[in-house]
Structure 1
């Protein structure tokens, strides 16, 4: 079927603008992030991702090599980047424990809240593929544990809860507050400032040193 102008002149077919490699990669990453969050690693096939991104399926492999590599870049890398940035500023953390707890929550909770789809992708993909290390998060865990041990030793304090558990469960607390927010508060959720304040206070209490006997 030919396309004519209002004057009855046959229009020349419009050529689709050629997309750059960067644009194609961005489209694939956006589609992959959404589908991994919806269906998990196994449920989101490369065909589904290509269809959502409106690209040819071979372009996924040309740009990322494999679906596992695509998952790592779409889902894992944002976590690694954010926690690496957090660690880069760790030397400038507030000196007292209460302010450090608040800093941790106020810095990372908004990131998790704004990227809840990444958490969903991780949860829905658990056990479906070989573990891909969250290097930024793992590095944070290791350095946070070492820092807490040093701080407590300098103050001659003893841990009431092992720091290896505290730093991991602290992250889990923030992630759970994001993932289960609608279940926790089906009628009316607290204001974000109130939620962050409560989480910071809970974390502060969880890291209290062991009380001296007697």
Structure 2
């Protein structure tokens, strides 16, 4: 009867391919965020992942391919997390919905501190992952916000696209402000975004309706 062979002393167990990929991607995301695509090396990634350089090359080919995979991984994770929150809870009123979605973006960056730097590095190197993410999320946000604006008698029309673009630009700037240097108060920033955007559009609609009308 055959028996299982035991490994020799000190011989490491070979991890399943999926587990190796996950370790490499996690290490690569952190290093690309810290050092950029130029500064990070396959050697650095392998060391942080606890694998050999050969394992990384077998999984991803080269550093350029690994960077593309890491960027795609971040983009999909961000889209799934943020889009799911934006399209849910149909019973929330406009301010509560906006507040929760701003909080979601702050929470995502706090939970995944390498995400935004990796996406920003991708943009700098010619991979429009952040631009694409904004565009994909804009579709979700536009559809979800339109119903809530209607409850206030606001029909923004094509202004929706411009408004969502502004939302993302302001949120990314304030998330960066919170993430780097001396962080500002998270809840205060979220309240600021909520009141500035929701209150601002309602004020436009009531006091300068021609501005929105020209964008329809």
TM-score normalized with structure 1 length: 0.71
> Cα offset for 1:167?
1.4
> What are the equivalent positions in structure 2 for 1:4-83 lying under 5 Å apart?
13-83=9-79
Q: Which residue of 2 aligns with 1:176?
A: 173
More helix by share: 2
Higher RCO (C-alpha under 8 Å, 6+ residues apart): 1
Q: Identify which range, 34-43 or 152-161, moves more after superposition.
A: 152-161
- Deviation of residue 141 (structure 1)? 0.8
1-side partners of 2:151 and 2:174: how far apart?
A: 33
Structure 1 segments unaligned to the other structure (5+ residues): 1-11
Alpha-carbon deviation of 1:100?
Answer: 1.8
Match of 1:189 in 2: 184
Aligned with 2:105 (options 97, 105, 108): 108
Q: Do the aligned partners of residues 182 and 146 (structure 1) sit closer, same or farther apart at CA in structure 2, a change above 3 Å counting?
A: closer
Choose which of 111, 115, 131 in structure 1 pairs with 2:128. Answer: 131
Number of aligned positions between the proteins: 200
3-state secondary structure, aligned to 1:15: coil
Tell whether the 8 Å contact from 1:41 to 1:124 is kept in structure 2 after alignment: yes
Gaps of 5+ in 2: 1-7, 210-216
Q: Indicate the residue corresponding to 2:206 in structure 1.
A: 211
Residues 116 and 178 in structure 1, CA contact (< 8 A), matched pair in contact too: no
User: How much is the aligned-residue C-alpha RMSD, in angstroms?
Assistant: 3.5
How high is the TM-score relative to the length of structure 2? 0.71
- Cα distance change of structure 1 residues 160 and 130 upon mapping to structure 2, 3 Å threshold: closer
1:33 Cα offset (Å): 1.0
Task: Determine if contact 1:76/1:134 at 8 Å carries over to the other structure.
Answer: no
Larger Rg: 1
